[in-house]
């Protein structure tokens, strides 16, 4: 189904454990470049865990253990020679709750570029990133203002601008709109459509409409079988296929249950 696309990320036999608890079971799939891929599924099935595998944020959970491969343009990011810090610079992340640094708007955007030794014009980069995140017009007159003074929706767009500023290839989003009101949510969705021209986007969402509206591909996650607590991807296809003619009965139940 992905023949027409370049593959940005490719997951092979991925298993994740939290201590003795098997959280993700045997996932293999490919994420197309410059498309929006949504991950949906019931709460606790491992969506966030899966997403965090793409930029090695699971390394920060002491009990977490990841097995298998995640290839980023062919290179395994779990290769022992690879530094996770490098991975994260190229595969950015936007979190569920907006988490701006308690610094000025400007500093928030400039921070990532600074630590990564950006040599260009910082003002220009900040403006470009804020424009790309559709926030520029709202904040251009007070870039020195504390980021914490922004509204929730603005903060989330600032976090997107911050992620963009380090020029990643991929942006991971974990329910980026769940803390926002409908209007702010819509803004984020419009923004995603703009961003997909340049970036590969993987988004976790609880909101079926959002997945249906905004994504090109959808991965449906579920607990792998009755009695097990390990999550896995049970179906992965073009979004319209998932929502109109799902192959798996469980997908259909889940998708329609939310709609009807």
Partner 1 sequence: MNGLFANENGRFSPRLSLRLRYGRLFQLLSLAAVTLGLIVLSVLILDIILDGYKWLRPEFFSQFPSRFPEKSGLRSALQGSLWMISLTALMAFPIGVGAAIYLEEYASDNWLTRFIEINIANLAGVPSIIYGLLGLGLFVRGLELGRSVLAGSMTMALLVLPILIVSGREAIRAVPQSLRHASLALGATKWQTIQNHVLPYAMPGILTGTILAMSRAIGETAPLITIGALTYIRFDLKGPLDLFTVLPIQIFNWVSLPKAEFQQLAAAGIIVLLAVLLSLNALAIVLRNKLQIRW
Partner 2 sequence: MNESQRVLSTVLRPRADHDRREKIIRAVLLLFSAVSIFTTLGIIAVLLQETILFFREVSIVEFFTETRWTPLFASKKFGVLPLVNGTVLVAAGAMFIALPLGLLAAIYLSEYASDRARKLLKPALEVLAGVPTVVYGYFALTFVTPLLQKIWPQTQAFNALSASIVMGFMILPLVASLSEDAMSAVPQSLRQAAYALGATRLEVTLRTVVPAALSGISAAFILAISRAIGETMIVAIAAGQQPKLTLNPLQSIETMTAYIVQVSLGDTPQQSIAYKTIFAVGMLLFVMTLVMNLISNWMTRRYREVYE
Ligand X SMILES: Nc1ncnc2c1ncn2[C@@H]1O[C@H](COP(=O)(O)OP(=O)(O)OP(=O)(O)O)[C@@H](O)[C@H]1O
Q: b/e for 88-124, b at 16 or more Cβ within 10 A? A: bbebbbbbeebebeeebbbbbbbebbeeeeeeeeeee
Residue 48: which of partner 2, Mg ion, partner 1, none does it interact with, CB under 5 to 8 A by kind?
Mg ion
Find out whether 158 and 105 touch, Cβ atoms under 8 Å: yes
| Spatial distance between the Cα atoms of 140 and 123, rounded to a whole number of angstroms | 11
129: contact with ligand X by CB under 6 A: no
**Options 16, 27, 31, 48; binder of Mg ion; rule CB under 5 A:** 48
Residues engaged in binding partner 2 (CB under 8 A): 6, 33, 72-75, 77, 81-83, 85-87, 90, 169
78: contact with partner 1 by CB under 8 A: no
> Measured from the CB of residue 62, what is the shortest distance to ligand X in angstroms?
8
Distances (CA, A) of 120 to 11, 123, 163, 210: 34, 9, 17, 36
Tokens of 131: 């424009």
115: contact with partner 1 by CB under 8 A: yes
Residue (of 27, 81, 21) closest to 54 by Cα position:
27
Find out whether 221 and 39 touch, Cβ atoms under 8 Å: yes
- Residue entry with tokens 């189904």: 1
Closer to partner 2 by CB, 80 or 182: give it: 80
Distances (CA, A) of 183 to 23, 178, 216, 256: 34, 12, 22, 25
**Options 1, 13, 63, 67; binder of ligand X; rule CB under 6 A:** 63
Residue 82: which of partner 2, ligand X, partner 1, none does it interact with, CB under 5 to 8 A by kind?
partner 2
Residue 75: which of Mg ion, partner 1, ligand X, none does it interact with, CB under 5 to 8 A by kind?
none
Residue 99: which of partner 1, ligand X, partner 2, none does it interact with, CB under 5 to 8 A by kind?
partner 1
**Options 14, 57, 132, 160; binder of partner 1; rule CB under 8 A:** 57
**Options 14, 40, 45, 255; binder of ligand X; rule CB under 6 A:** 45
**Options 35, 37, 55, 58; binder of partner 1; rule CB under 8 A:** 55
Tell whether the torsion through CA atoms of 189, 252, 43 and 77 is positive or negative: negative
Site for partner 1 in 188-247 (CB under 8 A): none
148: contact with partner 1 by CB under 8 A: yes
Spatial strand order in the sheet of 7-18: 75-76, 64-72, 7-18, 21-32, 231-238, 217-223, 36-40, 200-204, 170-174, 91-94
61: contact with ligand X by CB under 6 A: yes
Residue nearest to Mg ion (CB): 48
Residues that bind partner 1 (CB under 8 A): 55, 57, 60, 62, 85-86, 88-90, 92-93, 95, 97, 99-103, 111-112, 115-116, 146, 148, 159, 162-163, 166
């Amino acid at each position: 189904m992905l023949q027409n696309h370049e593959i940005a990320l490719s997951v092979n036999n991925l298993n994740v454990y939290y201590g003795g608890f098997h959280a993700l079971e045997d996932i293999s799939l490919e994420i197309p470049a410059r498309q929006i891929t949504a991950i949906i599924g019931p709460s606790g099935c491992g969506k966030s865990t899966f997403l965090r595998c793409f930029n090695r944020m699971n390394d920060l959970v002491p009990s977490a253990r990841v097995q298998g491969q995640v290839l980023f343009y062919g290179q395994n990011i779990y290769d022992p020679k690879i530094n996770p810090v490098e991975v994260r610079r190229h595969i950015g992340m936007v979190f569920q709750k907006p988490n701006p640094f308690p610094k000025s708007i400007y500093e928030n955007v400039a921070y990532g570029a600074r630590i990564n030794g950006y040599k260009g014009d910082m003002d220009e980069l900040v403006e470009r990133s804020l424009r790309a995140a559709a926030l520029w017009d709202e904040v251009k007159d007070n870039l020195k203002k504390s980021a914490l003074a922004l509204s929730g929706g603005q903060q989330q767009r600032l976090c997107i601008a911050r992620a963009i500023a380090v020029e990643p290839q991929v942006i991971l989003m974990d329910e980026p709109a769940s803390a926002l009101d409908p209007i702010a949510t819509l803004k984020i969705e419009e923004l995603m459509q703009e961003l997909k021209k340049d970036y590969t986007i993987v988004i976790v969402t609880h909101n079926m409409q959002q997945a249906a509206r905004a994504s090109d591909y959808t991965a449906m996650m579920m607990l792998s079988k009755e009695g097990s607590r390990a999550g896995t991807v049970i179906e992965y296809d073009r979004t319209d296929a998932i929502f109109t003619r799902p192959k798996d009965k469980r997908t259909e139940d889940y998708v329609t249950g939310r709609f009807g």
